[in-house]
Amino acid sequence: RRLMSDGLTAEGKIKSLPMVYIKGEEMTRYAAQLMLENWLEPHIDTSAWEFFDLSCAARDASNDQTLKDAVAAGAKIGAIFKEPTVTPSAEQVKEFGLSKPLPSPNGAMRRGWNGVTISRDTIHIDGVELGFKSPVLFERHAVGGEYGAGWKEVGKGRLITTYFPDKESFEDGEDAIIVDARILDNERNVAVVYHNPLDNVEALAHHFFSRTLKAGVTPYVVTKKTVFKWQEPFWAIHKKVFDENYKAKFLEKGLLENTGGELQHLISDAATMQIIRWTRGGFGMSAHNYDGDMLTDEVAQVHRSPGFITSNLVGVAADGSPVKFCVLSCIASRRRRGVSATPSTCRADGVGVGATPSTRPCWSLRDLTFHLITQIKEFEASHGTVSDLWHQHLRGEPTSFNPLGMAEAVMGALSHAADLSKDEETARKTHEYVTCLRRAMHNTFKYGQGTWDMAGPSGLTTEQFVEKVGNRLSKYLAQESDDEFVDPSASKPSVLLRRAAKQVDTDKVQELFAEFDTDSDGSISVEEFTEMMIKLGLAPPKEPGKESASRAKIDEGA
């Protein structure tokens, strides 16, 4: 059916682009294997993929060499998909019969790939409403904060922290600086020391503003700098990068209308409130490591659950090798769009190349530095290994695992592998494949054929869902009509809703109905509806955007 063409193997599969595939554990490993067999292998040659097993058993058996190998391969190849893994607790070390404790693989990956940011964005399904109406983008600084803290529990006494500059600038040892000296007057104290490295904050800012600009959302930088004064540089670097490179483009797109035409800072505790209030979405936040940890989980919950946000580690190659990929990829991108691709005109569109792109060819040192930061990208789901479903599966019970987060991670890794490739035609085919796969999955949800969490008990099992998406994908790739396509009137959300209705407690719904049907005539009038919306706190106010003054909050320096 398919014509042989560039970008395809003799078997008609899309040619293999180098990619790292990291296997994990439990339900997510099982579901990812189904996806691999049903969605990927029938259409894509995976011979250039490097597979690594980061299950506890494999890590233990290899003395964790498998983690080292995976990190090395990721640094070399740049596009990484990772299934959820388990970092065994002390009890699990015994339970699994491991020879010794295993650290979280995340630390090794963030170090090995020079992690700049963990991007965690809301995932949206066309035609299905989740928590946020429009995308929410998040950058969590991948380094610094209390994750790397040193500490000791100590008694009464003094605590002195001293900085010794590197020898180059050392003069008779007199350059030592007391960072902090304090008296501990409690019988018990814990002393905590950490540092925030700032060198990659500029890269983080470029990545953040590029993405928010491309997505058309308003950027906010989140810190507690009003009280934690050392967080000022995080904001200042963002502000500088923004004003020098992005402000004009954001203004042009009308994305700073709610922020007075300037980049807006948001205090971290205020951010916890806005995430709940701004359910329209359409914003981005860049935050320190721990704040990002807290706030992205909050975003996930407002959106629905951690199953509906991404988790992508963005790092930098240490040796600079990706530079050539960058330039070639940039040229390829121009060619694909039919634009002249002579070096002097080649540049990325509005991403990271500043307010006056025409003056900056993409291979200028500045742009290469920018492109460089997007080089290593590891894509994973934001949730864990879903133990409870795994144990159901092991007991032979049917399960219905929603693979949305993992599917987005696979698609992200494939797309990034294509972006890094010099093989234009294969890259184009890969991007097309990803588009088809995403559409196949979204339509399967939209047509009420989703997993139980989306479609109710009449939805599909883990295996059925993957197969259904796989069938639809094959048809879309072959440009065949979608036999299962539900006619438009029936494909409205109501189909999904009717299916979901089956898992609703109808008695309780009836009770609620009776409560809102105040004249008990068996139906809810417009007036009753209005009362109901007010009572539910869902009534649109007359003057949107106007705040109740009593809600105003002043940060008092806590």
Tell me which residues in 525-554 interact with a copy of itself (CB under 8 A). Answer: 525-526, 529-531, 533-536, 538-542, 544, 548-554
Cβ-based nearer residue to a copy of itself, 334 or 499? 499
Neighbouring residues of 482: CB distance < 8 A, sequence distance ≥ 6: 443, 472, 475, 476
| Contacts (CB under 8 A) with a copy of itself, residues 9-38 | 27
Q: Minimum CB separation from a copy of itself for residue 215, in Å?
A: 23
Q: Minimum CB separation from a copy of itself for residue 79, in Å?
A: 21
| Contacts (CB under 8 A) with a copy of itself, residues 208-227 | 224, 227
| Contacts (CB under 8 A) with a copy of itself, residues 288-327 | 290-291, 293-295, 297-298, 300-302, 304-307
On whether the CB atoms of residues 375 and 316 are closer than 8 A, the answer is yes
H helices present in 54-153, as ranges: 56-61, 65-77, 90-95, 105-112
For 209, list phi and psi in degrees, rounded to 5.
Answer: -70, -35
**Binding residues for a copy of itself, total number by CB under 8 A:** 141
| Contacts (CB under 8 A) with a copy of itself, residues 388-447 | 388-389, 392, 399, 401-402
For 286, list phi and psi in degrees, rounded to 5.
Answer: -120, 130
536 vs 75: CA distance, rounded Å: 51
297 vs 105: CA distance, rounded Å: 20
Which listed residue (233, 253, 264, 364) binds a copy of itself by CB under 8 A? Answer: 233
Distance of CA 410 to the CA centre of its chain: 12
Q: Is 199 in the site for a copy of itself (CB under 8 A)?
A: yes
Residue in 56, 54, 150, 62 with CA at minimum distance from that of residue 109: 54
Residue in 287, 271, 311 with CA at minimum distance from that of residue 140: 287
Cβ-based nearer residue to a copy of itself, 7 or 307? 307
Q: Is 463 in the site for a copy of itself (CB under 8 A)?
A: no
Bridge partner list, 118: 140, 313
Q: Which stretch binds a copy of itself (CB under 8 A): 53-61, 70-78, 351-359, 386-394?
A: 386-394
Cβ-based nearer residue to a copy of itself, 453 or 463? 453
Alpha-carbon torsion, ordered 435, 109, 353, 221, to 10 deg: 100
Which listed residue (2, 111, 182, 240) binds a copy of itself by CB under 8 A? Answer: 182
| Contacts (CB under 8 A) with a copy of itself, residues 488-507 | 493-494, 497-498, 500-501, 503-506
Which listed residue (169, 340, 344, 489) binds a copy of itself by CB under 8 A? Answer: 169
User: Which residue type, as a one-letter code, is found at position 63?
Assistant: N
On whether the CB atoms of residues 223 and 287 are closer than 8 A, the answer is yes
Q: Minimum CB separation from a copy of itself for residue 544, in Å?
A: 8
On whether the CB atoms of residues 83 and 24 are closer than 8 A, the answer is yes
| Contacts (CB under 8 A) with a copy of itself, residues 263-282 | 268-270, 272-273, 276-277
326 vs 5: CA distance, rounded Å: 25
327 vs 544: CA distance, rounded Å: 46
| Contacts (CB under 8 A) with a copy of itself, residues 77-106 | 84-87, 103-104, 106
Q: Minimum CB separation from a copy of itself for residue 450, in Å?
A: 11
Cβ-based nearer residue to a copy of itself, 97 or 150? 150
Q: Is 108 in the site for a copy of itself (CB under 8 A)?
A: no
Q: Minimum CB separation from a copy of itself for residue 23, in Å?
A: 16
Q: Minimum CB separation from a copy of itself for residue 91, in Å?
A: 13
Q: Minimum CB separation from a copy of itself for residue 191, in Å?
A: 5
The residue whose two tokens read 């509005």 is 350
312 vs 106: CA distance, rounded Å: 12
